[in-house]
Amino acid sequence: MDHVTRAKWDKAAATFDVMNGRGPERRWGPIKEAFFSKMRGEILFLAVGTGLDIRFFPPGQKITGIDISPNMIEKAKQRVASYDGQMEVRVMDVHEMDFAPGSFDQVFTSCTFCSVPNPVDGLAALGRVLRPGGELHMFEHTGSRWFPFNLMLNVMTPLSRRVGPEMNRSTVQNVARAGFAIQEVENHFLDVVKTIRATVPETTAA
């Protein structure tokens, strides 16, 4: 277990909803609703956080949620309980998941891989718990290739990583490096906020 990352997010849990609740959720709400509407089958939702995204989940799904932070999971419990479907949450590090290979049809992440310390390893771990042909759906913010936005993101990152995410990651490239086949990338704000759909190749696990 990565205790440094756990401690960081345990600390962030107290103010997470205040920082991420109103503005970002209103802004991204319609995009997230469309994004999560693709949920089907056995679903792993990585980094539940305080459960802010649960209200966008379509009803009647079977979802396993994990998060590295017990404090986040504790805060999420009420939202998990109110979900109109089957949902369980567990404290777990993406790098040390104990699910059997091929356990899930889909994995969903939402602003997660800005924070996973070893993103390519974490993504490869997701590939292992997905069945061959399984889908990875990501709603993420990444770095930008365009000036001046890349400058801003690079300036913010040394500060932001102390309390939470990194702002300048190349997440799409990381998904490809982890062995996934990229199916679709859609930009929602500049080339920074985007959705990514990738699959585990049918013949080999990612």
Partner 1 sequence: MERRPFFVLGDLAANTVTGVVVAWATAALVGAGWNMFVGMWVGMALGMVLAFVLSFAAFIWFLGAMEVMLPVMFTGMAAGMVVGMGIPMNSFAETSLAAVGASTGIAVFVFTYVIDALLGGKVKKWTT
> Minimum distance between the CB of residue 146 and partner 1, rounded to whole angstroms?
7
Crossing angle for the helix pair 3-12 and 70-81, to the nearest 10 degrees: 50
Q: How far is CA 140 from CA 39, 120, 194, 195, 205, in A?
A: 17, 15, 6, 6, 23
Site string for partner 1, 144-183 (x = CB under 8 A): xxx-xx--xx-xx------------xxxxx--------x-
Alpha helix (H) residue ranges in 37-134? 70-81, 119-129
Q: Please name the residue ranges forming H helices in 55-180.
A: 70-81, 119-129, 149-163, 171-177
In single-letter form, the type of residue at position 110 comes to: S
| Contact pattern for partner 1 over residues 24 through 63, marking x by CB under 8 A | x-xxx-----------------------------------
- The stretch among 56-64, 83-91, 120-128, 185-193 that binds partner 1 (CB under 8 A) is 185-193
189 forms part of the interface with partner 1 (CB under 8 A) = yes
When the beta carbons of 93 and 135 are compared against partner 1, the nearer one is 135
Measured from the Cβ of residue 84, the count of other Cβ atoms closer than 10 Å reads 11
Name the residues that contact partner 1, by CB under 8 A: 19-20, 22-24, 26-28, 141-146, 148-149, 152-153, 155-156, 169-173, 182, 184-194
